[in-house]
Chains A and B, each alone.
Chain A
Amino acid sequence: KQEVTQIPAALSVPEGENLVLNCSFTDSAIYNLQWFRQDPGKGLTSLLLIQSSQREQTSGRLNASLDKSSGRSTLYIAASQPGDSATYLCAVRIGSNTGKLIFGQGTTLQVKP
């Protein structure tokens, strides 16, 4: 059974810091991995999607890496800003006929001005 874990559960940093969020999964047989952002009381916004054959994806100040063999992904946020404050969730897609996403519980990030 696939399980996704995110560490830490919460993180508080001063503005301008570079930071890394971690995601681990127990079964390396995944189709892709996706990072989402969730603002309080809101839905999810997709940030980056990494196919199983890829090692990393970049979008602006965000960089996500994937190491399937070790069951790990990281989300790197450069030069953090208060507007980055949110919960970040990673999710792995499993199965060839469901497109089902297994989510981690998220890391809640606070960036202080």
Chain B
Amino acid sequence: DAMVIQNPRYQVTQFGKPVTLSCSQTLNHNVMYWYQQKSSQAPKLLFHYYDKDFNNEADTPDNFQSRRPNTSFCFLDIRSPGLGDAAMYLCATSRDLLSETQYFGPGTRLLVL
């Protein structure tokens, strides 16, 4: 049974055209994370939600936004995608912030044309 679901699995967008990636979870976890993983690079945390509290990483570009309308869903919005934003976007959840395993979804691969 899938616990962290990401849709779509593949997304193609045009340069500058806004795009939204979706993540949902059935674990009822408090924390949801978004990571960006460029080709052959380490995943890099963009931001996370602890319940309704949003925490942005200092070096996350303003072009990246997120919404969490309820416990189960979290969205990643890219307002004006550039070619450099092509990457795998990984959603993860954890029950709490400390000493917990993070559960990852399968990822959404974004291609920017």
Q: How far is the CB of A52 from chain B (nearest CB, A)?
A: 8
The answer to whether A105 and B48 touch (CB under 8 A), given A34-B102, A44-B104, is: no
Instruction: Decide: B99 and A89 in contact? CB cutoff 8 A.
Output: no
Q: Which residues of A contact B41 (CB under 8 A)?
A: 105
Q: 0/1 per residue, B15-34, Cβ < 8 Å to A?
A: 00000000000000001010
The answer to whether A41 and B109 touch (CB under 8 A), given A97-B97, A99-B31, is: yes
Asked if A101 CB lies within 8 Å of chain B CBs, one says yes
How many angstroms between the C-alpha atoms of A97 and B99 in the bound complex? 12
Sort chain A's interface into a size bin: 20 to 34
Instruction: Decide: A105 and B42 in contact? CB cutoff 8 A.
Output: yes
Q: 0/1 per residue, A38-63, Cβ < 8 Å to B?
A: 00011111100101000000000000
Q: 0/1 per residue, A85-100, Cβ < 8 Å to B?
A: 0000101010011111
Cβ-closest chain A residue relative to B100: A99
Instruction: Decide: B42 and A89 in contact? CB cutoff 8 A.
Output: yes
Q: Which residues of A contact B42 (CB under 8 A)?
A: 4, 89, 103-106
How many angstroms between the C-alpha atoms of A98 and B55 in the bound complex? 8
How many angstroms between the C-alpha atoms of A58 and B109 in the bound complex? 32
Q: How far is the CB of A53 from chain B (nearest CB, A)?
A: 10
Instruction: Decide: A51 and B99 in contact? CB cutoff 8 A.
Output: yes
Tell me which of A31, A97, A103 contacts B43 (CB under 8 A): A103
Complex A-B, nearest 4 residue pairs according to Cβ-Cβ distance, in ascending order:
A103-B42, A99-B97, A44-B104, A43-B106
